[in-house]
Amino acid sequence: MTSAVQTPNLPEHTERDQSIYSRITNSSFIRWLLAGIILILLWVIIAFISRSTIIEVIDAFIRLATEGDSQGFLLIDHIAQSVFIVTVGFCVAAITAIPLGIAIGRYKIVDSILGPVVEAMRPIPPIAWIPLSLLIFASLLYSQIFIIWVGAFFPILINTTTGVKRTKPVHVDVAKTFGASESEILSSVVIPSAAPEVFAGMRIGFGIGWMCLVAAEMIGSNKGLGYLIWTMQQVGWTGVVISSMLVIGLIGFAVSFFLLMIERRLLRWRQEVSV
């Protein structure tokens, strides 16, 4: 005679808590609302610490967007300049880092030669390259792009190399068994397997490159969000500094979100684990 195992009933308050948690996690509106509230609170704290009111920050933002700075450049001009520099630097970093990462991760001879070089140069901060970049490049714009490239290159390279090395050998062996060539193995097995790490590296690389913006535009630019922060801090216009920081954060978030959406669309087969 078998006895049925009875599952104890959950307390009423536990079921209610789970229902509230489920509604919060399943509602995009609530998640965005909570994120917006946290962002506003952080903004208020930063403004309070810097002894600037929210009204001053908003007023500085409106004046910069409509009237421009002392040189006549509007906020959109500074945004366009910064986005252009970071976009070019990031694209060059991705074009150079991804193939090199695949080569280092796939071929032991390349790893043995270039691996130590990468590990020796990776700890050097991008800002330390500023004096050398001024000596290497005759153009100030190229020097700024180079600083962004340094910041974005190594995260993309390391993540790509790691993703390639994590490709399961059994998948490569199966492809070889069916007579696949090396180029077919790369295109059909190795690169798709490493794609999640590559996209993660691109998002991290863009974030670091975007953070290097202030350092890149400190070299001598006359336009850009980084330049705006640097010059307005010197003249004590804190409202413009905070509003420029907010714009940098929003643009960085928008681009990271865009890259994440592309990743989810292209890599629908990838399984994500969430609590």
* pLDDT value, residue 99: 94
pLDDT in tens, 73-112: 888 888 898 899 999 999 999 999 999 999 999 999 999 9
More confident residue, 2 or 18: 18
Checking if the pLDDT of 234 tops 60, the result is yes
pLDDT in tens, 42-54: 767 766 676 666 6
Q: What is the DSSP letter of 69?
A: -
* pLDDT value, residue 24: 54
Checking if the pLDDT of 26 tops 50, the result is yes
Q: Give the integer Cα–Cα distance in Å for 256 and 43.
A: 20
pLDDT in tens, 108-155: 999 999 989 988 888 888 888 888 888 888 788 888 899 999 999 999
* pLDDT value, residue 88: 94
More confident residue, 176 or 6: 176
Instruction: Say how many C-beta atoms besides its own lie within 10 A of residue 196's C-beta.
Output: 17
Give me the domains of the chain, ranges plus CATH numbers. Answer: 53-264 (1.10.3720.10)
Contacts of 213 (CB under 8 A, 6+ apart): 82, 85, 86, 148, 224, 225, 226, 248
- Identify whether the C-beta of residue 211 lies closer than 8 Å to the C-beta of residue 195: no
